Structure formats: structure tokens, C-alpha cells
Amino acid sequence: GQNIDQPTEMTATEGAIVQINCTYQTSGFNGLFWYQQHAGEAPTFLSYNVLDGLEEKGRFSSFLSRSKGYSYLLLKELQMKDSASYLCAVSDSNYQLIWGAGTKLIIKP
């Protein structure tokens, strides 16, 4: 079967760094997406990785290791507005997105 695993909830302090992990087992791989979803709002795209390595975009970075079926999203200089759920999704052999259940990130002052 296809499976995406990520922690249910994480807590971090304003100004700190947090790493959200995602492991996957899918039928085929055509890239991995990270989305941010604030409560009551639509998911919004953060990053896309298809090759191994680190992609940096401002305070957010995403890493992929295809051999390990592993990715992480790194958030630096955390701000209160970063409190949200972070969704990991893998594009499978049919280019359909397989989604994780999301990680709820709580930022404390």
C-alpha cells in the first residue's frame, strides 16, 4: 500500500528552528510537495523536491532523500504566524498526490 508518515503535532518557540519530518512508501515517485494550511483556510504550496538535496526558499527549506524515502521541512526564525498544519504529499506513478495527515505546528512566545 501507499503510506505517508509525519508527526501529528510539534511545538516550538518563536525565533527558533524546527524540522518536520516525512517518510513515504509509494508506488512510484514523481516528486514531493510541502503545503502549509492555517486553521480554516486552504492549503498553500511551500515547496517541491524531485531530486535529492536541499531546496532553500527564504526561511523555509526542504530536503529530500529518495533512497531513504525521506523528506524534511526546515523552518528558521520561527514567527507566530507559522503556527499552522504542514502537509507532506508525494506524486505517485500516476502523478496523483498521496497525502500525509499533516503536522500541526504550535509556536509559543
Binding mask 47-86 for another protein (x = CB under 8 A): -x-x------------------------------------
Tell me: does residue 1 bind another protein (CB under 8 A): no
Amino acid found at 40: G
**Separation between Cα atoms, residue 72 and residue 22, nearest integer Å:** 6
Q: Could you say whether residue 100 binds another protein (CB under 8 A)?
A: yes
For residue 91, count other CB atoms closer than 10 A to its CB.
18
Q: How many residues bind another protein (CB under 8 A)?
A: 23
What are residue 65's DSSP bridge partners? 70
Q: Nine-digit cell at 90?
A: 508525494
Say which amino acid occupies 9.
E
Q: List residues near another protein by CB under 8 A.
A: 4, 8, 30-31, 33, 41-45, 48, 50, 87, 89, 91, 95-102
